[in-house]
Amino acid sequence: MVTVRGIVLLAHGSRDPLWRQPIERVAAHMREHDAQVLVACAYLELTEPDLAAATAQLLERGAGSIRVVPMFLGIGQHVRDDLPRLVAELKVRYPQIRLTLQPAIGEDARMIELMAQIALS
């Protein structure tokens, strides 16, 4: 049996509705390149849905495992403290699924290289 993978792109959030467009474009790009993966966007504050709601949506759509991808460049309190706590709470709520928290994208060497290339071009 193949487990349907879910991915939550987790960003900070903003009162400005235009702020969420880049995250939603990343999600759309992912869907275009891998129709087998369920993708949802979630936000820590000021924007809906939050992580719990996005996780519930993916479970309703059949996800058997969910990876939370923090779309943060810097490693501040949200990434260090808030995200691990939120994911731990979801693991208690949904013990039947494999729920993992990926390091923030700003920690990935590929992202650092890409940003450097863009800045140098």
3-state secondary structure string, the chain? Answer: CCCCEEEEEEECCCCCHHHHHHHHHHHHHHHHHCCCCEEEEEECCCCCCCHHHHHHHHHHCCCCEEEEEECCCCCCHHHHHHHHHHHHHHHHHCCCCEEEECCCHHHCHHHHHHHHHHHHC
Q: Which CATH class is domain 5-120?
A: alpha beta
Q: What is the pLDDT of residues 72-99, one digit of tens each?
A: 998 778 788 899 999 999 999 999 999 9
- Annotated catalytic residue within 12, 29, 33, 78: 12
Q: What is the pLDDT of residues 27-60, one digit of tens each?
A: 999 999 999 999 999 999 999 999 999 999 999 9
Q: Identify whether 12 is a catalytic site residue.
A: yes
pTM of the predicted model as reported, rounded to 2 decimal places? 0.93
